[in-house]
Structure 1
């Protein structure tokens, strides 16, 4: 029993037992906008079920337990045999199993599949981000495998299956498979052409033995991995199974697990190969070209995952301020706090709108949309992932000291927030990729300008920003050193165009006045006070 001196008052109730999907108006509207009519009812039903699960007490507890009990490496069994296995807490398997059963590894063969999957990924990541890594890599491996019809026929049905089976079994013995990826090595990092892992061809066509290492190999208990190695004709992509068809274990030595800042529930490993059997994917010497579509798809998941972290952080901040009183009133009603919350809400909605628009480009499949995505994805990946950490940090501050305490969940979000800006190429890599596309693919710039031009004339600040961007692009002097600035402006102009066309006027007005205006403050909470900030905040509010 609490002592009479310890009556708890003025503490917000936990944000739990709510529909994460229905509470996110930016997301629900994007789904209605981008999903084809014949698939909309089914998509909304699936997303509602996933949204309710994500906001449930049970799933939130799973996320907590999976992070408090991180994976453990077992290199040997009790008899001294090398086994190289990673043990996960049961909560991890429950999270991953639920996500697989919800279709988050399969988007390639159903109507509006990428939009539906992106929306689901955004919902589920709010419960726990760590299991997003195997989900993302499994989903993204499909286009790489399709370069080899025989491999695709065997593996794609299992990768897109809604069945999750843990354990060390031959891939064909499972109803569903997960795939990981191993590209970087300690001496090269992003510069994969510096890889030294060698691939020696066997007599059987397409079969090789790999010897070398991978410095980062995420989700090492996956059923197989797409890896890069140096074959006789150059850097080549390979599919490397953990267990061979006859049930014997492939040589896959896990040296250690990374001790990471965040993403604690997921295992990231250093692995070594020693005459490890693998099957070639695509042509010899064309490894980067083969795997590049996988990289593009996982980069989109970086955007979506960051949008999810931002959304959850903003929802928690607004919920807290809607229930917490200070200085004779609710925090949400205080003009300065309302300014901060509205600014955070803008960042979240802009990220969500952009992520779903990119997913729609994948669903379209036209050359125009493919060209648009080739430029817009690295620009979005650069900007949205960069904005994630300051957004989460500011949301945490809205909770004051309560936000700094682990029980609030905000510290876990904050530790997770920098990951997507690093994974699949850090900021400089994305900015340089933007320049590369601009220089080599005129169709991509044309597609981008047509997209942002759909809002031309609707807001003078957007019109001016587009004009300034064109001026920036016309000046090639020192363009590499200005690559981040160019990429940032492209992302902001694209977000502004999407919000002007599709968001409520108060949201679009506030975004253009700040992000595209002349006096955008470096900190959150510097929006012009004359804007309708209350409506912006209320739109972003999640209600349990």
Structure 2
């Protein structure tokens, strides 16, 4: 890399940009996890995706989309209500590239059935890589994909919308969804007075000749630029799920009035909004009074993506930290050769290996659920546990990765500051940590015997790993307590750790042994790098992380 000369000094001892790389080929733990959980035949497709998303051009699009945040245009020049959201072209380019790769629909067939095979694993690998470049635009991508699961409760509506959802075209035009080449879907669940407690929602739905008219508000309406939204409202029979398009059947702009866009900590390329419904047209999805049961089909999939994105963010943090450490010299050595830095990087690498194996194992369960009841129980029990652990791991992990770059990591020219600001949203969105714990306990209460069978399966899959048997015993004992809610966070963190060790044992047994020794047999220290790994294990972990 050529030096730059200033009047007083030359610029040297700086790491080159980490770009124009293959995000798949340079990530051995990801490649091995995809293969272990059924996606080996997609290696060429994923490598092509990895080269494209690892390019300098895609990195620039991610940066520009975050520097130029969305703007709400409530009215047009003549005073007509429009409620359009404007984006920088870089955002639309990111959306188009994700849509072209099928990140928003490849887990479904053209008629809205699960695609089968390893579709979930392969799509998750793409989502994981895209999140390393720009995470904000993935909000409408994941909701569009997930909405199909809820729309299945209304087959006639699914049949109408699926031909537009199933295309790999991105159409940002402000027009009725049925006239477009492709469409995106958002979600509106929470209200000011209720938040997570959606049963406290006050938005009302009244029957009309052509569907329903909805009056009320949403405190968080995700991705307001979408072509339609799944919203919850109180109908005559109780809380119900509705399909609310941006345009009414007669082609007029629907009465969806956005009040403002949220000014968020991160996720800045993506728009989130507050909204009022002034008699907005909507169509029912599923039965009246069954809104939670209907929309939870969508939420299960968005929770899955929260975990995948968090793992991807951590992978990116590790890769940038390791890349920098291999090029930066301090005290006459490269940072990557300094014993303390090597301990930190190896410990980070071990966490990423386990997180990656775990989310890919979860995606395999989603692939198998339609035909395997045991996998369906694994999916229901582990999705909230994996979201809990993975998403809560990301912010402190990225802080440590940022510190590996020193001051360069803290400034906005680099990507790690953006990753760090981005990371908390996945733990908050689609159910905070306590909600995830309660959902695991709910799954236990409904399917106690089957859930214990899943725990037994994890014990078998982690057999021989340090501390695995003892951890399983602690989890089982905690779940059997009458006051298990008091120890739910501890038990569910241990459940996720055991599941991660089991998943990693299938992918990379030596890494699984190290993970179990430092996370199960002994409590992991509060800081990364406070572990005692042999030098040959440290070298192997770093080489696996980034050849």
Shorter-normalised TM range:
over 0.9
Match of 2:125 in 1: 119
> Cα deviation per residue 1:479-530 (whole Å; 9 max; x = unaligned)?
112111111010011111112232141x222211211122421111111143
> Which of 531, 536, 539 pairs up with 2:541?
536
Q: CA deviation at 1:361?
A: 0.7
Q: CA deviation at 1:9?
A: 1.6
1:104 correspondence with 2:103: yes
Match of 2:359 in 1: 355
The residue matched to 2:467 in structure 1 has which SS? helix
Match of 1:252 in 2: 256
Give the alignment of 1:71-86 within 5 angstroms: 71-86=70-85
Match of 2:36 in 1: 33
1:285 correspondence with 2:289: yes
Match of 1:87 in 2: 86
1:431/1:519 Cα in 2 relative to 1: closer, same or farther (>3 Å)?
closer
The residue matched to 1:123 in structure 2 has which SS? helix
C-alpha distance in structure 2 between counterparts of 1:10 and 1:470, whole Å: 52
C-alpha distance in structure 2 between counterparts of 1:108 and 1:446, whole Å: 31
Give the alignment of 1:328-477 within 5 angstroms: 328-365=332-369, 366-476=372-482
C-alpha distance in structure 2 between counterparts of 1:263 and 1:293, whole Å: 24
Give the alignment of 1:204-353 within 5 angstroms: 204=210, 207-353=211-357
1:181 correspondence with 2:187: yes
Kindly indicate whether the alpha-carbon contact (under 8 Å) linking 2:5 and 2:11 is maintained by their aligned counterparts in 1.
no
Match of 2:517 in 1: 513
C-alpha distance in structure 2 between counterparts of 1:101 and 1:447, whole Å: 40
User: Where does structure 2 lack aligned partners over 5 or more consecutive residues?
Assistant: 110-114
The residue matched to 1:165 in structure 2 has which SS? coil
User: Where does structure 1 lack aligned partners over 5 or more consecutive residues?
Assistant: none
> Cα deviation per residue 1:49-94 (whole Å; 9 max; x = unaligned)?
2111111010000000000000001111111111111100000000
1:186/1:493 Cα in 2 relative to 1: closer, same or farther (>3 Å)?
same
Kindly indicate whether the alpha-carbon contact (under 8 Å) linking 1:187 and 1:195 is maintained by their aligned counterparts in 2.
yes
Match of 2:112 in 1: none
Q: CA deviation at 1:160?
A: 2.7
C-alpha distance in structure 1 between counterparts of 2:38 and 2:465, whole Å: 27
C-alpha distance in structure 2 between counterparts of 1:175 and 1:35, whole Å: 32
1:339/1:161 Cα in 2 relative to 1: closer, same or farther (>3 Å)?
same
Relative to the length of structure 1, the TM-score reads: 0.96
Relative to the length of structure 2, the TM-score reads: 0.95
Kindly indicate whether the alpha-carbon contact (under 8 Å) linking 1:510 and 1:527 is maintained by their aligned counterparts in 2.
no
The residue matched to 1:212 in structure 2 has which SS? strand
C-alpha distance in structure 2 between counterparts of 1:348 and 1:259, whole Å: 30
Between stretches 370-379 and 522-531, larger displacement belongs to 522-531
1:499 correspondence with 2:504: yes
Kindly indicate whether the alpha-carbon contact (under 8 Å) linking 1:458 and 1:500 is maintained by their aligned counterparts in 2.
no
Give the alignment of 1:32-71 within 5 angstroms: 32-35=35-38, 40-41=40-41, 43-71=42-70
The residue matched to 2:128 in structure 1 has which SS? helix
C-alpha distance in structure 2 between counterparts of 1:434 and 1:457, whole Å: 23
> Cα deviation per residue 1:133-165 (whole Å; 9 max; x = unaligned)?
000000001111011111111112322320110
Q: How many residues align?
A: 534
Kindly indicate whether the alpha-carbon contact (under 8 Å) linking 2:38 and 2:118 is maintained by their aligned counterparts in 1.
yes
Q: CA deviation at 1:4?
A: 5.8
Q: CA deviation at 1:447?
A: 4.2
The residue matched to 1:278 in structure 2 has which SS? strand
1:298/1:519 Cα in 2 relative to 1: closer, same or farther (>3 Å)?
closer
Kindly indicate whether the alpha-carbon contact (under 8 Å) linking 1:171 and 1:245 is maintained by their aligned counterparts in 2.
no
C-alpha distance in structure 2 between counterparts of 1:196 and 1:51, whole Å: 45
> Cα deviation per residue 1:314-340 (whole Å; 9 max; x = unaligned)?
000000111111112111111111110
The residue matched to 2:11 in structure 1 has which SS? coil
Q: CA deviation at 1:472?
A: 2.4
1:443/1:23 Cα in 2 relative to 1: closer, same or farther (>3 Å)?
farther
C-alpha distance in structure 2 between counterparts of 1:20 and 1:530, whole Å: 28
C-alpha distance in structure 2 between counterparts of 1:456 and 1:49, whole Å: 34
> Cα deviation per residue 1:277-311 (whole Å; 9 max; x = unaligned)?
10000000000001111000000000001001000
Stretches of 4+ aligned residues off by more than 6 angstroms: none
Kindly indicate whether the alpha-carbon contact (under 8 Å) linking 2:230 and 2:241 is maintained by their aligned counterparts in 1.
yes
> Cα deviation per residue 1:341-384 (whole Å; 9 max; x = unaligned)?
01111111111111111111111122111111111000001010
The residue matched to 1:80 in structure 2 has which SS? coil
Q: CA deviation at 1:251?
A: 0.6
> Cα deviation per residue 1:218-273 (whole Å; 9 max; x = unaligned)?
11010100000000000000000001233211111010000000000000000110
Kindly indicate whether the alpha-carbon contact (under 8 Å) linking 1:371 and 1:447 is maintained by their aligned counterparts in 2.
no
The residue matched to 2:417 in structure 1 has which SS? helix
> Cα deviation per residue 1:439-474 (whole Å; 9 max; x = unaligned)?
111244134224313324322322222222222223
Kindly indicate whether the alpha-carbon contact (under 8 Å) linking 1:164 and 1:177 is maintained by their aligned counterparts in 2.
yes
C-alpha distance in structure 1 between counterparts of 2:392 and 2:283, whole Å: 37
Match of 1:158 in 2: 164
The residue matched to 1:180 in structure 2 has which SS? strand
